[in-house]
Amino acid sequence: MPVFPTERSVRTTPEGLLWEPSERWVRGVKGEVTVVDSRQPVLVWEPEVPVPCYAFPREDVRTDLLNPAADPPTGEHRGARIFYDLRSGPEQVANAAWTYPGADLAGHIAFEWFRRWGSGLDHWYEEEEEIFVHPRDPHKRVDALPSSRHVQVEIAGTVVADTHRPVLLFETGLPTRYYLPREDVRLDLFEPTDRRTGCPYKGTAEYWTWQGGGEVPRNILWSYAEPLPAVAAVKGLLAFYNEAVDLTVDGVRLERPVTLFSKTLRP
């Protein structure tokens, strides 16, 4: 069967990596120096890592800024062959880049993304839009849909939210999140915290912690004050971790899902 240019073609390496060519123009900047400028990047998915990274043709990378890593890590980036330290001006970033083994990705260099693991370059751009945390997965979809479902939220037996005006956020690979108007949430039972997280699909979230006692995880409630345009419908609304509260939707109590966040939710 012929493969047309508009069809996606995810490929597998003998080492168990998935990769796919991208048509996006991607640039990575450290300080005022453009370290990566590529119109032929590839997306790489490592086993058991839920988000992709980019790898770039060597000729699109400022390899003069890279030196073999002085202290390469072990057990990171499935089968990584060579790690590099990045020096830009007076600053050096350890293990900022690496190469993958095998012929499929030979000649490509991958980079850590700032705010993903706390290292890497300062800014990344796809076309003219800055992208945070990690590259967006072209096979992932995020939809925020206003609804009239009846949603109730309980924590430790206390009803903390009750609304008929939720916005349901459907995100590939995650449970449906229910974003609720502030006036329908007992926000007086929560205390704001200094926690902030970033998402390349939604923006930067702020958090609140339950003040009612019991074995309830911290930062259980969040909101996007200025969400990205694709999910503008959730602006200023509040959402709870389904994994740690009791949700009832249209009279049906939902089971608490087990997700990649479950292990990080701690009292």
CATH superfamily, domain at 142-264? Domain of unknown function (DUF427) (2.170.150.40)
Determine the Cα–Cα distance for residues 96 and 236; give it in Å rounded to an integer.
Answer: 35
Q: What stretch of H or E contains 89?
A: none
Q: Where are the domains of the chain?
A: 11-130, 142-264
User: According to the model, what pLDDT value does residue 179 have?
Assistant: 98
Query: Do β-strands 238-240 and 221-223 pair in parallel, antiparallel, or remain unpaired?
Result: antiparallel
- Whether the CB-CB separation of 85 and 67 falls below 8 Å is answered with yes
Confidence label for 261 from pLDDT (cuts 50, 70 and 90): confident
Residue with tokens 């890593």: 69
- Whether the CB-CB separation of 124 and 114 falls below 8 Å is answered with yes
- Give the pLDDT confidence of 34-57 residue by residue, as tens digits: 999 999 999 999 887 888 999 999
Q: What is the mean pLDDT of the chain?
A: 90
Fold of the CATH domain 11-130:
2.170.150
Confidence label for 80 from pLDDT (cuts 50, 70 and 90): confident
Residue 3 has pLDDT above 60, yes or no: no
> How many alpha carbons lie under 13 Å from residue 248 in its C-beta half-sphere?
14
- Whether the CB-CB separation of 219 and 208 falls below 8 Å is answered with yes
**Could you tell me which residue, 81 or 35, shows the higher pLDDT?**
35
What is the full DSSP assignment across 212-257? S-SS--SS-EEEBSS--GGGGGGBT-EEE-TTTSEEEETTEEPPPP
User: According to the model, what pLDDT value does residue 5 have?
Assistant: 42
Residue 239 has pLDDT above 70, yes or no: yes
Percentage of the chain with pLDDT > 90?
68
User: According to the model, what pLDDT value does residue 8 have?
Assistant: 58
> In residues, how long is the chain?
267
- 11-130 shares its CATH topology with 142-264: yes
**Strongest mean pLDDT among 13-22, 161-170, 197-206, 256-265:** 161-170
Residue with tokens 């702020």: 206
Cβ-based neighbour number of residue 264 at 10 Å = 11
- Give the pLDDT confidence of 136-174 residue by residue, as tens digits: 999 999 999 999 999 999 999 999 999 999 999 999 989
Structure token pair of residue 3: 């493969």
User: According to the model, what pLDDT value does residue 188 have?
Assistant: 96
- Residue 144: what residue type? A
User: According to the model, what pLDDT value does residue 65 have?
Assistant: 96
**For range 12-36, the mean pLDDT:** 92
